[in-house]
Amino acid sequence: MTDTDAVDVPQASIALVDVVLPCLNEAAALPWVLSRLPEGYRAIVVDNGSTDASAEIARAAGATVVAESRRGFGAAAHAGLLAATAPIVAFCDADASMDPSILPVLVKRITDGRTELILGRRVPTTRGAWPLHARFANRALSFLIKRRARIAIKDLGPMRAANREGLLSLDLRDRRSGYPLEMLLKASAAGWRIEELDTPYSPRVGRSKVTGTIRGTYIAVKDMSKLLREVQ
């Protein structure tokens, strides 16, 4: 037996990347999403009190399921980060709008030492993938981020990856829709390099909880405006 044989443990048993999937009633989307996780990537499905079979489906597919009783995207995303143990943590929606099989392309930017926070810039695959009002709101948001925080990004997308310990050190507080923006602002303030990569964005499976609803959009705008007002 050589030295290399001795450390040759099966790939799947060591997660290089933990993938946090905030999940609120995504039973229809989860089977596909979880089937797309690359080798060495562990799914952490954070169930926010789903009333459908999301948690059972996730467990049956071999995902780690974390229950978070406080509602909110940030509450779920952060519970996933706290449950993660891998050196790199990625975030991805559980609605089948984005394909986890693309994550290694993003993660490589981190492991190559090119950047500290990598964001997936959503590129719609069909006309229906991204509702017009959401696209417009996102463009306005990118403009404000540039003006207030001097960060030049084209899209504040939810697919992203970074070093786990780094993310924990950012001390993120938002537990609703401001979480992705707070991560960006604090990463930038901490001097992190931030990059975007184009990622395909397809129509989600099932019903939207955030930007596809008036209440969801209202909360997102409110949470994000508050964070931007606080930028020094």
Cα(174)–Cα(141) distance, rounded to whole angstroms? 17
Among 27, 63, 95, 103, binds ligand GDP (CB under 6 A): 95
Under the binding rule (CB under 5 A), the answer on residue 97 touching Mg ion is yes
Phi-psi region of 44 (alpha: psi -120 to 50; beta: other; left: phi over 0): beta
Can you tell me which residue has the tokens 């707070």? 182
**Stretch 176-215 residues interacting with ligand GDP (CB under 6 A):** 204, 208-212
Among 93, 99, 174, 223, binds Mg ion (CB under 5 A): 93
Closer residue to Mg ion, CB minimum distance, 115 or 177 = 177
Closer residue to Mg ion, CB minimum distance, 116 or 157 = 157
Q: Answer for the pair 122, 89: CB distance below 8 angstroms, yes or no.
A: no
Cα(150)–Cα(152) distance, rounded to whole angstroms? 6
Site string for ligand GDP, 39-68 (x = CB under 6 A): -------x-x--------------------
Minimum separation from the CB atom of position 157 to ligand GDP (A) = 10
Minimum separation from the CB atom of position 214 to Mg ion (A) = 16
Can you tell me which residue has the tokens 């790199």? 88
110 binds, among Mg ion, ligand GDP, none (CB under 5 to 8 A by kind): none
Q: Are strands 194-201 and 160-163 parallel, antiparallel or unpaired?
A: unpaired
Under the binding rule (CB under 6 A), the answer on residue 223 touching ligand GDP is no
Can you tell me which residue has the tokens 């017009």? 132
Under the binding rule (CB under 6 A), the answer on residue 138 touching ligand GDP is no
Closer residue to ligand GDP, CB minimum distance, 163 or 208 = 208
Minimum separation from the CB atom of position 204 to ligand GDP (A) = 5
DSSP assignment of 64-77 equals: EEEE--S-SHHHHH
Cα(66)–Cα(49) distance, rounded to whole angstroms? 10
Which of 110, 127, 111 minimizes the C-alpha distance to 203? 127
Cα(117)–Cα(164) distance, rounded to whole angstroms? 11
User: Under the rule (CB under 5 A), what is the footprint of Mg ion?
Assistant: 93, 95, 97, 204
User: Under the rule (CB under 6 A), what is the footprint of ligand GDP?
Assistant: 22-24, 26, 46, 48, 71-73, 76, 93-95, 204, 208-212
